Amino acid sequence: MNVASLIFTPKFLATIIRMTTPLIYAMLAAVIVNRAGVMNLAVESTMLTGALLGVLFSTWTKSAWLGFLLAIIGCVLLSLAIGYAAFVLKADESLNGVAFNLMMQGGTIFILYLVTGSKGMSNDLQSKVLPKWDIPIIKDIPFIGTVFSGHYLLTYIAVIMVIFVHVLIFRTKFGLRLRLVGENPQAAESVGINSQKMKMIAMCLAGGISAIGGCFMSMGYVSWFQSGMTAGRGFIGMASSTLGGNTPLGGSLASFLFGTADAIAITLSTLSIPGEFVTMIPYVVTVIGLVVSSSLSGKAGKRKGDKK
Amino acid sequence: MKKLLSIILALVLVFSLVACGGSNEEPTPSGGDTPAPAPAPADDGPKPPSVCVVVGNASDKSFSESLARGAALCGTEIGSEYKVIEFGSDETKMLPTLEDLSEDGKWDIIAVASYSYVEYIEACAEKYPDQHYVLFDAASTAGYPNVYSADYKGNEGAYLAGALAAMVTTDTEEMEYANPEKVVGWVGGMDMTLINDFVLGFIQGAHDIDPEVKVITSYTNSFGDTAKGKELAQIMIDAGCDLVYNGAGGAGMGCLEAGKENHTYSIGTDSDQAMLFADDPEKANLILASQLKSLDINLLDVATRYMNGEDVFGHHENLGVASGVICLSDNEFTKKNVPAWMLEKINELSDKIKDGTIVVESAYGQDDAVVHEKIDAARP
């Protein structure tokens, strides 16, 4: 078994797509709040909460989609609370985000314990799983079929969401206002935009979208909730958003970069390459990516300055 | 409206405090929670020791749960008074809890499990020389006369698991989902001696059945990331594995999911994983066995020996298959899905380990580089 035979296969590309999907949702959530000028570190916690709520509600309603919807609503409500503390009660945004991350780390376990009596995983619950989708015609094409077909429906919805968020931010009146609030809140207020309201809406949208990412983890990737199962994916999503210049398309590329690095890391780890080296790969890629992106944007800024 | 929201927020915060604070309540061990009004032993017999178990989380489906079950077992088997105390995820509460209990002096034996508590136990042992402590899965070498410690030969259990894996992957006739390739996978939580000790045992067990069997070893580097465990198992299955062994805690549960999707077999560790998924027979039927570390049996054994006046404290034991603490699970799914001759072979091998005919290699005391060389040599 050598490196080439593991990596240059359609199955490996499919692995990348699977590993990237949750990152895309976290990234989109981060893009929206960043555009509104909010420092929201709580993406990780809304994702984790979404993962738990999806499992719980799908168990109780006996329907995957109803559970999925209720999980989104639950996370929107949680985001309302986060936003309320930050914007109305004027809590420090970063500390507030950290506090909610810590709270839901324990909170999800607490709720899980109340419901199932177990603190580790929800395997006693008969929770439902969201379906997979075989794309007609494409699934029969040899290479492409293996790569693109047969993923969870939420993977395809992620693509739609990227386009949706792109249009929302750059092509609608709402998006214009959102960006204005983010770039210059005073100016926004002066033309009669309620910046607090806009930030609140951005928080709710982010909460809902990250909940989808959480549901992908617990209702697709695996079929149960495990304490701490998002394992930092929310943070990687935030990093992708920054790396991609807070645009959905750039962020998607960055997410793919992280997804690929992750996939390479775990694939190589089955070979006799030192594990410590392999686990470094995603983080080395992060650092390189951040340096490249900041030096590029630095150059672009200079060029603009020259013109003036 | 504002007031209402701030009240809700305050409630949420209070809620979170409760959640993080952990619970010092008694859990419900299977079979009733009251400290058993157990069958009082006859007057002439020695008095059973009272046992108090201190764990982080008594329902972790693994290690701590096994210890908590041990307390209940002492209650039902020898009539001990017992209690299980959970201190939650905050390890700084361990020492104060131990000190409080020792100060009370109400319990004859205080039992804990994990190598991270060695210092706490030794500190208490010095301070309270009359209190007896039991420390599982760790070695206390300071020589306190009131401490009993035991650690386990995980490699011997892994040897049996490896033997089973090799029999399964080579038997394409009887095992429905076995493929012609003689490759099995091993997903560990972290590249460390404790885990590699298992790997070496597993490889030795597999090679004793068929030297041609290859073992792909890999680590999730996380004990909670189920998605990663699943991807790792998937890669191994794509590489020709028809059985994946998981020793990665919660992350290992992802391997079971990959096994279910691809119709390949799994072997678990620490908890009886097939019984965890008894509601999902499609998955449970593919989990052929789990390697168990039965702290409950060990605790009962210590309490019984103490009751009979044996000199158990002040000693350290290294227990393996011979003591019955390390074994493969023997549940309905194992009986149903593993052919009888394989189970017989496993029993035969355990007997050989017991009488010393087979000596299982350990990663302890070996140089890391040598261990990795051996692991790499087993790769396809």
Contacts of B328 (CB under 8 A, 6+ apart): B157, B160, B161, B164, B289, B290, B291, B292, B334, B346
By CA distance, what is B17's nearest residue in A? A103
Q: How far apart are the two ends of chain A, measured CA to CA in Å?
A: 58
Percent of chain B predicted with pLDDT > 70:
87
Nearest-CB residue to B235 (from A110, A228, A267): A267
Burial (CB count within 10 angstroms: exposed 0-12, middle 13-18, buried 19+), residue B316: middle
CA distance B88 to B55: 8
pLDDT computed for residue A21 by the predictor: 95
Instruction: List CB contacts (< 8 A) between A276 and chain B.
Output: 191
Query: Which residue ranges make up each domain of chain B?
Result: 23-28+48-152, 154-292+324-377
Q: Phi/psi at A268 (nearest 5 deg)?
A: -65, -25
Helix (H) and strand (E) counts for chain B? Answer: 14, 12
Instruction: Indicate whether B13 pLDDT > 60.
Output: no
Contact (CB, 8 A) for B292 and B154: no
Pick the closest to residue B293 from B328, B253, B255, B322 (CA basis): B328
CB A1 within 8 A of CB B379: yes
Q: Which residues contact A223 (CB under 8 A, 6 or more apart)?
A: A127, A129, B257
| Chain B 273-302, residues with CB within 8 Å of chain A CB atoms | 276-277, 279
B236 vs A270: CB contact, 8 Å cut-off?
yes
CB pair distance less than 8 Å for A106 and B221: no
Arithmetic mean of pLDDT, B313-333: 88
Q: Residue B88, CB half-sphere, CA atoms under 13 Å: how many?
A: 17
Q: How far apart are CA B73 and CA B93, in angstroms?
A: 26
Q: Can you tell me the mean pLDDT for B231-246?
A: 92
Residue B35: its pLDDT value, please? 45
Query: A3-307 has which fold?
Result: ABC transporter involved in vitamin B12 uptake, BtuC (1.10.3470)
In the three-class reduction of DSSP (H, G, I as helix; E, B as strand; rest coil), residue A161 is classed as helix
Contact by Cβ (8 Å): B113, B295: yes
B186 beta partners: B217, B245
Nearest by Cα to B352 from B79, B156, B62: B156
What is the SS3 assignment for B319? Answer: strand
Instruction: Give the 3-state DSSP-derived string for B59-124, with helices as H, strands as E and coil as C.
Output: CCCCHHHHHHHHHHHHHHHHCCCEEEEECCCCHHHHHHHHHHHHHHCCCCEEEEECHHHHHHHHHH
Angstrom distance (rounded) from CA B8 to CA A89: 13
Equal CATH topology for B23-28+48-152 and B154-292+324-377: yes
CB-based contact A228 B234, cutoff 8 Å: no
**A217 close to A51: Cβ distance less than 8 angstroms:** yes
Beta bridge pairs of residue B216? B185
Among 3.90.1200.10, 3.40.50.2300, 3.30.413.10, 3.40.50.460, what is the CATH number of B23-28+48-152? 3.40.50.2300
C-alpha to C-alpha distance for A299 and A188, rounded to whole angstroms? 29
Residues of B in contact with A81 (CB under 8 A): 8-9, 12
- pLDDT average, residue stretch B197-219: 93
* Pair B296, B304: CB distance under 8 Å: no
**Which residues from B are below 8 Å from A111, CB to CB?**
19
Q: How far apart are CA B218 and CA B257, in angstroms?
A: 17
Q: Count of A–B CB contacts within 8 Å?
A: 126
- Asked if A108 and A227 count as a contact pair (C-beta separation under 8 A), the reply is yes
Asked if residue B264 has pLDDT above 90, the reply is yes
Q: Helices marked H in A8-152 — which ranges?
A: 10-35, 43-61, 64-83, 93-116, 142-148
Local structure of residue A87 (DSSP, 8 states): I
ipTM of the complex in this document: 0.83
Q: Looking at per-residue confidence, does B24 or A256 come out higher? A: A256
pTM of this prediction?
0.80
CB atoms within 10 A of CB A173: 7
- pLDDT of B288 > 70? The answer is yes
pLDDT attached to residue B57: 76
The pLDDT, as a whole number, for residue B192 is 86
Task: For residues A112 and B303, give the distance between their C-alpha atoms in angstroms, rounded to a whole number.
Answer: 34
Distance of CA B16 to the CA centre of its chain: 30
B154-292+324-377 placed in CATH 3.40.50.2300 = yes
The confidence score (pLDDT) of residue B23 equals: 41
Distance from CA of B310 to the nearest CA of A (A): 37
Q: What is the pLDDT of residues B98-133, one digit of tens each?
A: 999 998 888 999 999 887 888 899 999 999 998 999
Q: On the CB side of A189, how many CA atoms lie within 13 Å of its CA?
A: 6
Q: How confident is the model at residue B34 (pLDDT cuts 50, 70, 90)?
A: very low
Distance of alpha carbon B273 from alpha carbon A228, whole angstroms: 20
| Residue-range domain boundaries for chain A | 3-307
- CA dist., res. B196 & res. B375, Å (int): 8
| 3-class state of residue B216 by DSSP | strand
The structure tokens listed for A261 are: 């690095």
Q: Which residues of chain A have pLDDT under 70?
A: 1-4, 275, 299-308
In the stretch 255-274 of chain B, residues with CB closer than 8 A to chain A read 257
Encoded tokens for B307: 């009751």
| Better-predicted residue by pLDDT, A99 or B25 | A99
Q: What is the pLDDT of residue B271?
A: 79
- Which of B12, B89, B254 faces A222 most closely, judged by CB atoms? B254
